[in-house]
Structure 1
Amino acid sequence: MIEVLKNRQSLLQKSGGELVIKENPFIAVVVTPIMRRAFLQDISTEMVFVDSSGSCDQTNTCVTFLFTSNKTGAIPIACVLHTAQTEAKYTLAFASATEAIEVENKKFDPKVFMTDDSASERNALSAVFPNSMLLLCTFHLCQALWRWLWQTDHNVKKEDRRTVMEMFRNVLYAPTLEDSEEYYDFLISNNIVQSNKVLYDHLENLWVRRKEWCISFRNNITRGNNTNNYTEASIRIFKDIVLQRCKVFNSCALVDFIINVFENYYKRKLLEFANSRRSKPQIDYRNMCFRAREINIIYQRDNTIFHVASEKDSNLFYTVNAKIAFCDCPSGTGGKFCKHLCAVEQKFGILFKTSPVLSVHDRIQLAKLAVGHSAPEEFYKNMDSNTTDLENSFQSTNSVPAKVELATAIDLQVNAEESESRFKKEIIRMRCEFNRITSTLETNQSPEATLSIIKFNALMNNLKTPSQILNFLEAKNRICGRKSRKIRVQPTSISRRKNKALPQSGRIQAGRPSKNEKLKRKHSLGSNISHNLPNAKLH
């Protein structure tokens, strides 16, 4: 097996990757060309997500994934194959991964590692990366505590479990240090906790490690990434798409799947984003613009500092620094793109680096990440040199026809008189369009047209305020056609059904079971907590 892996090692090195092989104990670190380019583009210097998975081959080899993130989601840095999930094996695995990832004088030393609460994995990371900060995934922390509360030997009453969990979540998601300490004092002084020594000690042990999981202690370094879901989703992709829910024969086959299938999957994904074939960035930006449409910007200073009013409290203001794309609101602290940054971006035409919109530079970087330096930069540049990235994002977000003359936010803010004249001109144009539509309908009278006009007039009658009218104009496909008729089944087939929760007139849904038919416990942790039910295991 080692000889076969050494042959793969020479082939991978020729294509720009790296394969490090250790025999006693067995360790194989796979760094594909995309992983190498991701490391060289400096997108792995801030935060790296780490998680392990077993049951991938017949010999039960453990696969540890190292991922970073960008606007498209998770990007792999390395895949480590080792024999067991012990602290000693993890230490050797991470040391070998560092050896494979580093090139020339460029060191692999991320500022933050995000993991679940695996003691052996975290101790190994501390030994190999002493300068990095280790953070806990908030989802896995809540999931572990909820399962701990449901264990009968801890003597927590069923009616008290939800109360304890909700108080702990207040501590977890407290926006400031003072609030988290206040919520913890309230939790620890509760009668439920005071009457249960085991629960009291468990919560105290968690509080000692509060810097690893409490949001208020780390909100300025995570850029909004408080869970390890990037690796969870990527491992699901690896097992479902790459391995197709099957175990491979041995570690050699596992390395082949990583080098070929796993690499090609991320290559296709990155090219789809670079070629604007995925609408996720546009959808995220459109949703953010919808939330930021009524936010008021009070004043600005030197086109770099903006003071934005809060939606909930008119006396509260947040400061936006355009140079570093930073907002001091609870959501934007740490560099996450928030609605206040979006409001400044819309009004003043500034495209921040943290915005979900993919600029020309972002698309070029994604193409180079997928195929290397052979990616043609001219192909991704704007055909019109006078068009900015923000104008392109507005056009793609609002889906305005090409023949309509567009005005950017900057154009309408330059001169108030010009903006007023533009508004009057468009109002006259709207009136002309309505006159044209009504004159066209007058020449085509029919009962169907009368019914449609009645429905439209009723819809227009509901638009009372200017904000309702503007929301209607921005909406897409607001007026929907009549739903298609349901295909019904024979009465005898309904009488033969054993499950009475199934629909009584339609056919049974093919494929995945319908919502009414699902009898299994939900995988939603928040839903299970609110209904005071034990959480289902995901894997």
Structure 2
Amino acid sequence: MCTHSVAGALPIGVLITSDERENTLKQGFAMLRQCLPEKGFNGRGRETGPQLILTDNCKEERAALQFVWPSAKLLLCTFHMLQQTWRWIMDRSHRISDCDKPYIFMLFKKALYSNNETSFAAKYHDLLQDDTVGKYENAVAYFKSLYEERGDFALCFRSEIFTRGNQTNNFVEAQFLVLKDTILNRIKEYNVVALLEKITMDMEQHYKEKLLSVSDGSYDCNLRSRFSGKASSKNDRLGFRVPTEEEQRRLTSSIKEFPNDVFEVDSLSETGQRYTVDMVLGCCSCDQGKDGSPCKHQYVLWASNISNNVNFIPVSSPLLRQKLAYIALGKSLPLQHYTTLRNKVSSAEPQPNNTEYLLPVREEPQPMETTVAERFEDEASVTHSGSGTQLVQEPLQPWTMHTM
């Protein structure tokens, strides 16, 4: 089970089970819930659970998650949904002609990627009424059954939900590669005890180093391009084209600032069109950023060092870098340690008292860490936000979890 961040996927729980039956998963998720702090899930509470859970179409897993966290919204991974449909079409027992298979699949895919609900309804109606699909009664029945779950897999029904641009659970798939290649080295463990040691010690160290590389500014880990704003076109896995230097200067000169890190930014393509950007929530009123995804308007504010949010690497945000260090270690150095020589702390960011932030440590630190902490112990003032220690996202932001 993972959540997303600018440093990549971060694990929030691991279940080691003997099978994947619904009762087994219910017990596992219930045990995990009891391990979480009372103000878990960014202050929502461990009983309330996350706002969004993105899974594949495993009925046992989805039923168990809905039982443990009934208020959570369960979404289906679009990739697994398309893969499931393609496998059904390719199944020889369903007797779909080879020449009709790509055409039927393309009709369903177009409906899934519809921009709005009206378009989805029209395209799905065309799918069910199509002459090619109508030749196969089993295909019509199958797509009618999928229509009942349209709110879970069609993108148009989640356009206003803060998915942060995560329509698939690729984060989880990537972490399985980390577990198999980096942690287990493609070697089967001797017993469950050895497997537990690898997961609780070696894998934890891997994610600590990953977070600290971003926190310290070394950036040794592999980062997705959309978090660093490096792309020249929409096809570079960023979702938007990075504005040129001339376009950035033009947009920066016309930015209007409002309280609470809210801005208005001009559109590059439409004259007279302005978009509202909330850098605290990390969202924009444009089509690209309304679900919390990074967009060019957020990028301009970040690249110009006007404001920061969780959608981009905190290059000039000491407070966000400090939070990542706390997530990794359970403690952090004073804010001055994370401030670069060229950048000052943004006055728009909420600052701890005396701009110092040394939090209690639950475990015994290493000798070198103890020495560093003691240097700042006398001058540090402990500060703690009202949302608890769940610093995965900024306050007031929806909490999203990805599972297999």
Q: Same fold (TM over 0.5)?
A: yes
Kept in 1, the 8 Å contact 2:277–2:284? The answer is: yes
How far apart, in 1, do the equivalents of 2:321 and 2:305 lie? 23
* Match of residue 208, structure 1, among 148, 157, 165: 148
Contact 2:319 2:335 in 1 (8 A): no
- Residues 48-127 of structure 1: matches in 2 within 5 Å? 66-103=1-38, 107-108=45-46, 109-127=49-67
Aligned to 2:169: 228
Closer/same/farther in 2, CA of residues 316 and 146 from structure 1, 3 Å limit: farther
Residue of structure 1 in register with 2:318 after alignment: 360
Distance 1:374 1:322 in 2: 27
Match of 1:248 in 2: 189
Instruction: Give the aligned residue type for 1:275.
Output: D
* SS of equivalent residue, structure 2 residue 50: coil
Matches of 2:170 and 2:34, distance apart in 1 = 26
Alignment partner of 1:286: what SS?
Answer: coil
The structure 2 residue matched to 1:237, chosen from 147, 158, 178, is 178
**Residue 77 of structure 2 is aligned to residue 144 of structure 1:** no
| Counterpart for residue 275 of structure 2 | 319
Shift in Å, 1:281: 6.9
* 8 Å Cα contact 2:277/2:297 also seen in 1: no
Deviation at 1:104, TM superposition (A): 7.4
Residue of 332, 336, 343 corresponding to 2:293: 336
User: When you count helix as a share of all residues, which structure comes out higher?
Assistant: 1
2:211 to 239, 258, 270: 270
Larger radius of gyration: 1
Check the 8 A contact 1:320/1:341 in 2, yes or no: no
Tell me the TM-score normalized by structure 2.
0.72
Taking structure 1 as reference, are residues 369 and 348 closer, same or farther at Cα in structure 2, changes over 3 Å only? closer
Q: Within 5 Å, give how 1:36-55 maps onto structure 2.
A: none
2:392 alignment partner in structure 1:
none
Q: Give the unaligned 5+ runs of structure 2.
A: 232-237, 349-404
User: Percent identity, aligned pairs only?
Assistant: 25
Alpha-carbon distance in structure 2 between the residues aligned to 1:122 and 1:345? 37
TM-score, with length taken from structure 1: 0.55
| Number of equivalences | 323
Cα–Cα, structure 1 residues 159 and 230, in superposed 2: closer, same or farther, change >3 Å? same
Please give the per-residue CA displacement for 1:77-130, whole angstroms capped at 9, x wherever unaligned.
111222110011011111111011234796321111111110111111111111
Whether 1:129 aligns to 2:69 is yes
For structure 1, the residue ranges without an aligned partner over 5 or more in a row are: 1-65, 391-539
Conserved? CA contact 1:360–1:389, under 8 Å: no
| Paired residue secondary structure (2:14) | strand
Contact in 1 for aligned 2:9/2:175 (Cα 8 Å): yes
Matched residue SS, 1:81? coil
Counterparts in 2 of 1:150 and 1:310: CA distance versus 1, 3 Å? farther
The equivalent residue for 2:199 is 258
User: Tell me, what secondary structure is at the counterpart of 2:276?
Assistant: strand
The match for 1:349 is 306
* Distance in 1 separating the partners of 2:289 and 2:186: 39
Amino acid at match of 2:242: R
Corresponding letter in the other structure for 2:125: D
Note closer, same or farther for the CA distance 1:325–1:68 as it changes in structure 2 (3 Å cut).
closer
Could you say what secondary structure the match of 1:147 adopts?
Answer: helix
Q: Could you say which structure has the greater relative contact order, defined with CA pairs below 8 angstroms and 6 or more residues apart? A: 2
CA change 1:276–1:317 in 2 (3 A) is same
Shift of 1:211: 0.7
Q: Report SS of the residue matched to 1:134.
A: strand
**Residue 371 of structure 1, aligned match among 320, 329, 334:** 329
Cα pair 1:285 1:357 within 8 Å, conserved: no
The structure-2 alpha-carbon separation of the partners of 1:315 and 1:199, relative to structure 1 and needing over 3 Å to count, comes to: farther
Residues in 1 aligned to 2:347 and 2:13: alpha-carbon distance in whole angstroms: 33
Contact 1:173–1:214 under 8 Å retained in 2: yes
Task: Measure the CA separation in 1 of the matches of 2:23 and 2:126.
Answer: 40
2:190 maps to a residue whose letter is F
How big is the shift at 1:345? 4.6
Q: Partners in 1 of 2:334 and 2:224 — Cα distance?
A: 22
